[in-house]
Amino acid sequence: MVGLVFIDVDGTLVGRDGVPDCVWPAAEALRNQGVRLSLITGRPSRGHALAYARRLDPTGLHVFESGAVVLALSRDPHSPPTQPLLVEALPQEAAREAVRLARRLQLPLEGYTADGGFFLEGEDPLLQAHQELLGLKAEPADLMALPSPLVRLQVLAEAHAPLGALLDALPPGLQAHVAESPRMPGVRFVSLTKRGVSKLTAARFVAESYGLTLAQSAMVGDGENDLEVIRGVGLGIAMGNAAPKVKAAAKRVVAPVEECGLAEALLALLD
């Protein structure tokens, strides 16, 4: 029996027009059966992502920053979340080297800290569009001079961007996770976390915190950055809009996000 369901955001929960209304009744029905729901995303633990997490499971554990942060929500929806249960900061020198590399390649760059800080370098239009997607306002900053440690760096890359050059020269100690969002088509989001930190490591932490194993868990996702969790859980579910290799790895494929695929996946888990 599945006791925990991990749910990706972009392309799974959120489609071109936002979250389909059909998702929320399905999530509530599954939660009423005692199944925990855990958001698992590269997004930070603020803005729209935090609102999605609260609605999916208002007292649950949720994964942000591509696995670098696990947050426990408080019972009071008007109070801030508790302190993160898990924080994996970037190695300082590796982070500095990555910032220098992104600057040389003239790639739009964002930085995220465990205390919810959202910072950026430059004035690229992609950076502004991404703030609107997240529902957050970023602060311009020198990413090598922040008062709090970074948990994640993120490059925004259009098709013509030298993404290969970035990945080929990635500093030791960092790991890249590439994702996309249907709300910013054609843009690749390259998250850099501490090496060994990923959605899978955070998913295992959440499952164990609930006294469960990954074999007792399910994952619904669409992107290649969801693959390791889809393969690692007992029931991997791919959205109909997922990449072919994601569908091939999943045990079940549901409809695309805009056609209530996530609701289909959740309702199929009801007893």
Task: Encode pLDDT of 20-51 as tens digits.
Answer: 999 999 999 999 999 999 999 999 999 999 99
Instruction: Give the chain's end-to-end CA distance (angstroms, integer).
Output: 9
- The model's confidence at residue 79, banded by pLDDT at 50, 70 and 90, is low
* Contact predicate 110/153, CB 8 Å: yes
* pLDDT over 70 percentage in the chain: 97
Specify whether 128 is located in the same domain as 170.
Answer: yes
- Domain, as residue range, for 14: 4-87+198-267
The pTM (predicted TM-score) of the whole model is 0.93
Per residue in 147-196, pLDDT (tens digit) is: 889 999 999 999 999 999 999 999 999 999 999 999 999 999 999 999 99
Q: How far from 140 is each of 48, 65, 182, CA to CA, in Å?
A: 20, 19, 26
pLDDT bracket for residue 80 (50, 70, 90): low
* Better pLDDT: 203 or 115: 203
Answer yes or no: is pLDDT of 110 > 90: yes
Among candidate residues 162, 194, 226, the one where a domain is terminated: 194
CATH of the domain at 158: 3.30.1240.10
Query: Mean pLDDT score of the chain, rounded to an integer?
Result: 94
Please check whether residues 64 and 97 belong to one and the same domain: no
**How many distinct structural domains can be found in the chain?**
2
Residues 107 and 74 in one domain: no
Q: Is the pLDDT score of 76 beyond 90?
A: no
Banded pLDDT at 116 (limits 50, 70, 90): confident
Q: Which of these three, 155, 179, 194, is where a domain ends?
A: 194
CATH of the domain at 253: 3.40.50.1000
Residue 239 in this model has a pLDDT that exceeds 90: yes
- Predicted local distance difference test score (pLDDT) of residue 77: 60
What is the structure's pLDDT at 147? 84
Instruction: Pick the last residue of a domain from 178, 194, 210.
Output: 194
Given pLDDT bands bounded at 50, 70 and 90, which one contains residue 234?
very high
